[in-house]
Amino acid sequence: MKRIYNFSAGPSTLPVEVLEKAQKEMLDYNNSGMSVMEMSHRSSFYDDIHKEAKKDLIELMGLSDDYELLFLQGGGSTQFAMIPMNLLDKEDVASYLITGSWADKAYKEAKKFAKPEILASSKEDTYTYIPEIKEEEMDVNSKFLYLCVNNTIYGTRIAPEKIDKLTKPLVADISSNILSEKYDYNKFDLVFAGAQKNLGPAGVTIVALKKGLIKEAREDIPTMLSYKTHADKDSLYNTPPCYSIYITGLVAKWIKKMGGVEGIEAINKEKAKLLYDFIDNSKIFKNNIKVEDRSLMNVVFVTGNDELDAKFVKGAKEKGLENLKGHRTVGGMRASIYNAMPIEGVKALIDYMKDFERENR
Amino acid sequence: MKRIYNFSAGPSTLPVEVLEKAQKEMLDYNNSGMSVMEMSHRSSFYDDIHKEAKKDLIELMGLSDDYELLFLQGGGSTQFAMIPMNLLDKEDVASYLITGSWADKAYKEAKKFAKPEILASSKEDTYTYIPEIKEEEMDVNSKFLYLCVNNTIYGTRIAPEKIDKLTKPLVADISSNILSEKYDYNKFDLVFAGAQKNLGPAGVTIVALKKGLIKEAREDIPTMLSYKTHADKDSLYNTPPCYSIYITGLVAKWIKKMGGVEGIEAINKEKAKLLYDFIDNSKIFKNNIKVEDRSLMNVVFVTGNDELDAKFVKGAKEKGLENLKGHRTVGGMRASIYNAMPIEGVKALIDYMKDFERENR
């Protein structure tokens, strides 16, 4: 069996022991005589999987009893519509911090259903930093401040200490750094994350929101896009993406085994420090992100020469270090080092970068 | 390893060889060094899986070049909204044939976004038959006739020969009998199927629609609920449910190996005939469905005595014949014998029914 180090930004690498467990249980889950894929979503076997995954995620996120956690479909892109449809009336204002193209997409989608405003944007600097968050500049009637906490494409994140200082109701996309370091998720009205970056396979989106915000939806909302529909039925209104939830549950158990978010955070910080330190001291690799805004999950770097970048990515692939090409809109390289990327993968990458530097100075 | 005969209505049994292949490839798909769950949806490995699954489904469904086939999320319940949102204006009429609670849900959802009418309903007879389809009674301005071709809960289906006679534009839910017997899918403007009954795991919905119907969406439609969004990007506008599509692709290959729809239909008809013949000649089991409307996929039966029904279901479970309890709204028993249920499973069920009959007459 071949295994590579997969630096993909998402879908992305999963813990090997999770895959091994799924492999073992593929034809017979827990002596049920069935694959999890074959189980009725109304069966007691599946019900246990569903409840356990939910319980573990709530525990890992440290959510209080004020929160409901949902398993939905449609990815973050569907949340861009569900958030204004469920939390805003047509004339309501909400404030968006534009830290990348995903935040921008969320803002544009919200314009279909309400009156969002842009609080600040770093677009003119290709999103290389997080704009200062001046809550006092929000429209006085603004219902919430929307944030994309980690920006996969640009390699930035809003640090926990910046969020701790905020006082307004917050709604956030945490797809690419959920459970990677300690955030106080109880500070948010709503957070959501597509599983396919740091939690599991594509096809399930985690939404955690304050129970008080779950109410009868606006009449123009499809039943399936109302949070209440799903909250009332514990995410079993219709058939959920059972297998994706099962794998997400296995990943949650793995995080707990690694010492929870605290344990994972320590490893993630070590991984990121190794890589950023190497880049900052390198003669050919550069990272242009403002230091305090650097993502722990997505480390972007360039040589400044497109041909050399391409050579780097090609050579890396030959060494089993894959998916290091930067997003097509920004070029260069990107190493996504999510929770499941072992430190050995980061060290192997740095070793290759050293060799490459020596040969290409 | 234990394997049972799983008569669940959905999610439901999958071909063992599909599960075995998925198991084998779990940690390393095709020498990629990755699980399919870990692959970027923009990678060439995944692209091949995506395109191949699409091609095979189009081929198996016999769709002409006039059709686009999409992989979407959100299940049939999301299609209940997407259909009127994309195919109708707010004042447009469409006609719904109410053959069960799923058709009824589709009709009710359509009322939010357009002006659907009920053409006919068999609700007063607990949906035990398919109402005669009188197209001439449709509103003259009706844009399409909506059908639920197979009714999982009630064990009915609209036979292919009935559909062949229709002349109006048709839109249909084919979730529970897609690719189980030969239908001319080119007669439909749009068909959709949640994968979790006859195609694969929950989490992906197949939609096939005429390309001419794909147009700029109404302004009040979320981007993710517009068919055009997904058609323009070959179902890769955002991260698709890659693993569910992969398994669906494996199931499509398996159907081809079984001789395509013709091969599967022959087996399905044999399975259904064995079971219906036994029931019709039984002293204690009854099926109340009008013979011409009987489903090949979901065979419902009762003893007429709730206690005896419960005893039957319990005893079946002990023999490894599981999920035979009828839907909670109708009671009794239901054997879902989808494509992946081997004829040996049906024979084992009949053997048990014979024993049960002998012991409980």
Q: Does B47 touch chain A (CB under 8 A)?
A: no
A239 is in an annotated binding site: yes
In this prediction, residues A127-148 reach a mean pLDDT of 98
Helix, strand, coil abundance in chain B, percent, nearest 5? 40, 15, 40
Is A326 a domain residue?
yes
- Contact of B232 with chain A, judged by CB distance below 8 Å, is answered with no
Distance CA A27, CA A34 (A): 6
Share of chain A above pLDDT 70, in %: 100
Rounded Cα distance between B302 and B282, Å, is 11
Establish if A9 belongs to a structural domain.
no
Kindly report the nearest CA distance between residue A342 and chain B, in angstroms.
Answer: 14
B152 is known to lie in a ligand binding site: yes
A88 and A176 part of one domain: yes
CB atoms within 10 A of CB B165: 8
pLDDT at B78: 98
Interatomic CA distance for residues B109 and B106, integer angstroms: 5
A303 in any annotated domain: yes
Token digits for A237? 């209104």
CA distance B356 to B317: 13
Given the residues A56, A173, A293, A309, the one annotated as active site: A173
Indicate if the pLDDT at residue B220 is higher than 90: no
Q: Which residue has the tokens 């996309």?
A: A173
pLDDT at residue B13, as a whole number: 97
Is residue B249 part of an annotated ligand binding site? no
Q: Give me the residue from A27, A222, A243 closest to B243, CB to CB.
A: A243
Residues contacting A71, CB < 8 A, separation 6+? A50, A53, A54, A204, A205, A206, A230, A235, A240, A241, A245
| Closest in B23, B38, B39 to A26, CB measured | B23
CA distance A192 to A208: 6
Out of A54, A56, A102, A325, the active site residue is A102
- Distance in angstroms (rounded) separating the CA atoms of residues B357 and B123: 31
SS3 B265: helix
B243 with B265, same domain: the answer is no
Give mean pLDDT, residues A46-61.
98
Q: What was the pLDDT predicted at B216?
A: 86
Say how far residue A53 (Cα) sits from the centre of its chain: 17
Give the pair of three-digit tokens for residue B313: 């279901």
Which DSSP category does B267 fall into?
H
Residues A327, A226 share a domain: no
Contact B323 A40 (CB under 8 A): yes
B315-330: pLDDT as tens digits: 999 999 999 999 988 9
Q: Are residues A135 and A268 in the same domain?
A: no
d(CA B243, CA B100): 31
User: Over the stretch A269-323, which tens digit does the pLDDT of each residue have?
Assistant: 999 999 999 999 999 999 999 999 999 999 999 999 999 999 999 999 999 999 9
HSE-up (13 A, CA, CB side) for residue B75: 25
Establish whether B173 is an annotated binding residue. Answer: yes
What is the C-alpha end-to-end distance of chain B, expressed in Å?
A: 36
Residue A208 and residue A269 share a domain? no
Residue A5 placed within a domain: no
Please identify, among A257, A292, A320, the residue that sits at the C-terminal boundary of a domain: A257
| Predicted local distance difference test score (pLDDT) of residue B164 | 97
Residues of chain B in contact with residue A222, where contact means CB-CB under 8 angstroms, are: 78, 80-82, 85, 109, 112, 225
Pairing mode, if any, of strands B145-148 and B115-121?
Answer: unpaired
Q: In what order do the strands lie in the sheet with A190-194?
A: A67-72, A205-210, A190-194, A170-173, A145-148, A93-98, A115-121
Q: What is the dihedral of CA B203, B208, B213, B217, to 10 degrees?
A: 10
State how far the Cα of A78 lies from the Cα of A223, in Å rounded to an integer. 13
* Residue % of chain A over a pLDDT of 90: 98
Residue range(s) defining the domain that contains residue B324: 260-360
How many domains are there within chain B?
A: 2
CA distance B286 to chain A (A): 25
Find the CATH number of the domain harbouring B83.
3.40.640.10
In a domain, A245, yes or no: yes
C-alpha distances (whole Å) from B180 to each of A97, B142, B344 are 50, 30, 18
d(CA A123, CA A98): 7
Same domain, A130 and A147: yes
Instruction: State whether A240 and A335 are in the same domain.
Output: no
A328 to chain B, minimum CA–CA distance in Å? Answer: 11
Residue A206 has pLDDT above 90, yes or no: yes
Confirm or reject contact between A99 and chain B (CB < 8 A): no
Phi, psi of A321 (to 5 degrees): -115, 100
Residue A218 has pLDDT above 90, yes or no: no
Is A313 exposed, middle or buried, given 0-12, 13-18 or 19+ CB atoms closer than 10 A?
A: middle
Evaluate whether residue B9 is within a structural domain: no
The torsion region of residue B5 among left (phi > 0), alpha (psi -120 to 50) and beta comes to beta
Mean pLDDT of A23-49: 97
Give the residue-averaged pLDDT of B180-196: 98
Taking residue B243's Cβ as centre, other Cβ atoms within 10 Å add up to 30
- B24 within a domain of the structure (yes/no): yes
With respect to residue B339, please indicate whether it lies within any of the assigned structural domains: yes
**For residue B294, what is the domain's CATH number?**
3.90.1150.10
> What pLDDT, on the 0 to 100 scale, is given for residue B219?
80
Note the ipTM here: 0.98
Give the per-residue pLDDT at A217. Answer: 78
Q: At what angle do helices A343-360 and A260-280 cross, to 10 degrees?
A: 0
Taking CA–CA distances from B200, the nearest residue in chain A reads A37
Query: B313 and chain A: CB distance < 8 Å anywhere?
Result: no
In the residue annotation, A197 being an active-site residue is answered as yes
pLDDT reported for residue A277: 98
Please report which residue ranges of chain B form alpha helices under DSSP H.
16-24, 44-61, 75-87, 101-110, 160-164, 227-232, 242-257, 260-280, 306-318, 343-360
> Taking Cα atoms as reference points, which of A352, A182, A241, A255 lies closest to residue A14?
A255
| Beta-strand relationship, B170-173 and A156-157 | unpaired
What's the Cα-to-Cα distance from A276 to each of A231, A301, A337, A349, B58, rounded to whole Å?
42, 9, 12, 12, 48
Selected for mutation to probe chain B from A26, A37, A49 (highest B CB count within 10 Å) is A37
Q: Does A241 touch chain B (CB under 8 A)?
A: yes
Q: Are residues B194 and B279 in the same domain?
A: no
- Which residue do the tokens 């091609």 mark? B55
Residues 160-189 of A with CB under 8 A from B: none
- Out of A230, A257, A284, a domain closes at A257
Residue where the block lists tokens 């300690």: A182
Pair A187, A317 in one domain: no
Return the C-alpha torsion angle A338, A341, A344, A349, nearest 10.
Answer: -60
The pLDDT assigned to B218 comes to 81
Residue A123: its pLDDT value, please?
97
The residue among A257, A283, A303 that closes a domain is: A257
The predicted model gives B58-73 an average pLDDT of 98
In angstroms, the Cα distances linking B274 to B6, B79, B288, B354 are 18, 35, 17, 13
Measured between CA atoms, the residue of chain A closest to residue B201 is A37
A102 is catalytic: yes
In the predicted model, what is the mean pLDDT of residues B298-303? 98
**Rounded CA separation A70/A72 (Å):** 6
Q: Over 90: is that where the pLDDT of A219 sits?
A: no
Choosing from B92, B102, B254, B325, which is the catalytic residue? B102
List, in sequence order, every beta strand (DSSP E) within chain A: 5-6, 67-72, 93-98, 115-121, 145-148, 150-151, 156-157, 170-173, 190-194, 205-210, 298-301, 321-322, 333-336
**pLDDT at residue A39 tops 90:** yes
How many Å is the maximal CA-CA distance in chain A?
64
Note if B173 is an active site residue.
yes
Contacts of A1 in chain B (CB under 8 A): 27-28
Please tell me if residue B85 touches chain A, with a CB cutoff of 8 Å: yes
Confirm if A106 and A148 have CB atoms less than 8 A apart.
yes
**Chain A contact set for B2 (CB, 8 A):** 28, 31-33
The reply to whether B103 and B198 lie within a common domain is: yes
Nearest chain A Cα distance for residue B161, angstroms: 31
Residues B245 and B353 in one domain: no
Are residue A163 and residue A188 in the same domain, yes or no?
A: yes
Torsion, Cα of B52, B53, B56, B62 (10° steps): -130
- What pLDDT, on the 0 to 100 scale, is given for residue A89? 95
The answer to whether A39 faces chain B, any CB pair under 8 Å, is yes
Burial string for B77-112 (b: 16+ CB within 10 Å, else e) reads bbbbbbbbbbbbeeebbbbbbbbbbbbbbbbebbeb
The pLDDT tens digits of the residues spanning A138-159 come to 999 999 999 999 999 999 999 9
- Mean pLDDT (whole number) for B292-320: 97
Per-residue model confidence (pLDDT) at position B139: 98
**Amino acid A361: pLDDT:** 82
Looking at the predicted structure, is the pLDDT value of residue A237 above 90? yes
Q: What phi and psi values does residue B271 have, to the nearest 5 degrees?
A: -60, -50
| Cα angle for residues B249, B255, B256 (degrees, 5° grid) | 90
What the block records as the tokens of B322 is: 């599981």
Question: What's the gap in Å between the CA of A305 and the closest CA on chain B?
Answer: 24
Task: Give contacts of A13 with chain B, Cβ < 8 Å.
Answer: 34, 38
